[in-house]
Structure 1
Amino acid sequence: MKRIVILGSGGAGKSTLSRQLGHLLNLPVIHLDAILWQPSWVLVDKPTQQSLQQQLISQSEWIIDVNYGSTLPIRLAASDTVIFLDYSRWVCVWRAVKRIVSYYGRVRPDMAAGCPEHWDWLFIRWILLYAETHRPKVLAVINQYRAERQVFILKKPSDAKHFLQQLTSNHTHPA
């Protein structure tokens, strides 16, 4: 595992898992939100998104977290491992609300400068509809790469905890 893509709904915990894996595996973590957003919540245009991601994936090792479905194939094609946090909408909404409350008015460590946390009904709606609108597309794209990649689909936060425990055990005590 040297080139890891972490996917999932907003609020699933992609950035948290990325940091934990980065620490455990000693890999650089790239939060695309911190790169693709400009101050005042302005997203860079699609050609710039593609160009920046092409540069990032040219590195030999990385963990990249975020969705951005239109550029997902760029990341998946360069990855060796895919982790999909396929959590219930209620877990994701709860975590997103907790994050909003915790960081309200401040910029999160995994977000671009000038993009303070704020309440956003469209974001909450996106999380609520993710399972119907985005999840099938994400799974379809993941399935295109499944034969050549390690794919982990984690269904609940305890699965992620167990996944990290297994990696810790394997990393600390190689066979």
Structure 2
Amino acid sequence: MMHRILIIGCCGAGKTTLARELGARLGLEPVHLDRLWWRPGWRERGREEFDAELAELLRRPEWILDGNFQRTLPERLKFADTVILLEYPRSRCLWNTFKRYFRYRGTSRPDVGEGCPERLNLPFLRYIWNYNRVTLPRVQAALEAAPAGCRIIRLASPAATAAFLKRFS
């Protein structure tokens, strides 16, 4: 059984959607790291405050955490029993990002919090464009160092994710 679940992957891969759907099936309320990090007006929360709140969350007996925040991945891995890595193609992540932008444009997404209206800019798109080449290898290296009891589930497409979710219906 999965009790402490990390969902990671490129922006636009569907981490938040998966966290919400899996949480509904398992009776767990997802925690969105973006919501912890961002303050109104897209102001960053201080690292110390973020790290303290994250440490408190990690001590809970059950959770679903969605978000990248590579700096904290090694710490989160120490507590996770399951990691779900969404390894979607760049084209899918970009498509989902544009869809999300047009859906929430001018308003705040539920997973980010109030006062952070949806935005889209070139550095963010560059991050998505380069994720599989630059960031994913670092994520994979961190996963190789995960504790022995941590189960790693890799999902490479929306169809694979849907099949995974069906197991919990």
* TM-score bracket relative to the smaller structure: over 0.9
| Corresponding position of 1:105 | 106
| Corresponding position of 2:55 | 54
Unaligned 5+ runs, structure 2: none
| Corresponding position of 2:72 | 71
Name whichever of 118-127 and 142-151 sits farther off.
142-151
Give the partner amino acid of 1:116: P
Q: Equivalent residues in 2 for 1:115-130 (5 A)? A: 115-130=116-131
Tell me the CA shift for residue 146 of structure 1.
5.8
Tell me the CA shift for residue 59 of structure 1.
1.0
* Cα distance in 2 for residues equivalent to 1:119 and 1:73: 28
Tell me the secondary structure at the aligned position of residue 99 of structure 1.
helix
Tell me the secondary structure at the aligned position of residue 126 of structure 2.
helix
Unaligned 5+ runs, structure 1: 169-175
Instruction: Verify the 8 A CA contact 1:53 1:74 in the aligned structure 2.
Output: no
- Deviation digits for residues 83-139 of structure 1, max 9, x if unmatched? 000001110000000000000000011112110102222111100000111100001
| Corresponding position of 1:11 | 12
Q: What TM-score, normalized to structure 2?
A: 0.96
- Deviation digits for residues 7-59 of structure 1, max 9, x if unmatched? 00000000000000000000121011111101111122222221111011111
Tell me the secondary structure at the aligned position of residue 138 of structure 2.
helix
| Corresponding position of 1:33 | 34
Q: Equivalent residues in 2 for 1:128-147 (5 A)? A: 128-145=129-146, 147=148
Instruction: Verify the 8 A CA contact 1:5 1:65 in the aligned structure 2.
Output: yes
| Corresponding position of 1:157 | 158
* Cα distance in 2 for residues equivalent to 1:76 and 1:2: 13
Tell me the secondary structure at the aligned position of residue 148 of structure 1.
coil
* Cα distance in 1 for residues equivalent to 2:74 and 2:129: 24
* Cα distance in 1 for residues equivalent to 2:45 and 2:27: 29
Whether 1:91 aligns to 2:102 is: no
Q: CA RMSD in A?
A: 1.0
- Deviation digits for residues 120-167 of structure 1, max 9, x if unmatched? 221111000001111000011111116211110101111100000123
Give the partner amino acid of 1:150: R
* Cα distance in 2 for residues equivalent to 1:91 and 1:146: 30
Higher helix share: 1
* Cα distance in 2 for residues equivalent to 1:5 and 1:12: 14
Instruction: Verify the 8 A CA contact 2:81 2:150 in the aligned structure 1.
Output: yes
